[in-house]
Amino acid sequence: MGFFSESLQTAFSLIMSMDREVYTTVWTSIYVSIWSTLFASVIGIPAGITIGIGTFPLKGALTTTLNTLMALPTVVVGLVVYGMISRQGPLGQFGLLFTPKAMVLGQTLLAIPIITNYTLSTIEGADKRILPTALTLGAGPLQGVLQLVREERYGVMAAVIAGFGRVIAEVGAAMMLGGNIRGYTRTMTTAIAMETSKGEFAFGLALGIVLLAVAFLVNLALNILQQQR
């Protein structure tokens, strides 16, 4: 118990003293997660809206696939992307492996099913009269969809926050694609895994506290948006 309490004190000391390595690692995690969520939103939100308002034979199968992909193992994504961007892969010439760009690519693939599925659920749960009413009042198809999204903006925002929550706590793909390079691609999760294995428990605990704080804020925002909806 003494070991844990001492480590906890050291962890808080590192956080409060604005330790450079701690905050560099935190910034890398947030930077990669924000860009991953942004790119995933650009793809996932339109995809969720299209599936939600559309009627086609394979809609049920597509929805089931999205539900399955929400639980996609991160190491599988890391493995596939690694094969694509490694020197022997089709994208090897771009030198993406072990860079933040590779991490963004892998985490974008992880966030897309989350954001798409949440957006789909939001659109399907919306008032069915919104789109027909907008079209009846003279709005074009695009204007009608934009009005629908405006009415369900809290649900769409919740989808984006859920995607961010997925990638900020990811470790498998980040380790495989980023290489956990100190000061460059080391994120909170990969640093926790490595530093703890090296016996630097206090440093890992400091990052764990920050990660929990970020996760708490993400979930708090998600709950608030869901209540607003």
Q: What is the mean pLDDT of residues 143-170?
A: 88
Q: Which domain holds residue 184?
A: 20-228
Q: What is the mean pLDDT of residues 128-143?
A: 78
Is 6 inside any structural domain? Answer: no
Q: Write the pLDDT tens digit of every residue in 77-101.
A: 999 999 999 989 999 999 999 999 9
Nearest to 148 by CA among 129, 172, 162: 129
Cβ 139 vs Cβ 147: under 8 Å: yes
Q: What is the mean pLDDT of residues 136-162?
A: 85
Is 201 inside any structural domain? Answer: yes
Is 15 inside any structural domain? Answer: no
Four-residue CA torsion sign, 16, 21, 23, 29: negative
The residues, ordered by sequence, that sit 6+ positions from 202 with a Cβ below 8 Å of its Cβ are 6, 7, 8, 10, 11, 14
Is 2 inside any structural domain? Answer: no
Task: Report the number of distinct structural domains present in the chain.
Answer: 1
pLDDT band (50, 70, 90) for residue 25: very high
- Give the whole-angstrom CA distance, residue 47 versus residue 118: 11
- Give the whole-angstrom CA distance, residue 129 versus residue 157: 22
Is 139 inside any structural domain? Answer: yes
Is 14 inside any structural domain? Answer: no
Is 86 inside any structural domain? Answer: yes
Nearest to 106 by CA among 86, 127, 88, 132: 86
pTM: 0.90
pLDDT at residue 1 tops 60: no
Q: Write the pLDDT tens digit of every residue in 192-220.
A: 988 888 888 888 888 999 988 888 888 88
> In terms of C-beta density within 10 A (0-12 exposed, 13-18 middle, 19 or more buried), how is residue 90 classed?
exposed
- Give the whole-angstrom CA distance, residue 13 versus residue 27: 18
The residues, ordered by sequence, that sit 6+ positions from 69 with a Cβ below 8 Å of its Cβ are 112, 113
Is 222 inside any structural domain? Answer: yes
CATH of the domain at 125: 1.10.3720.10
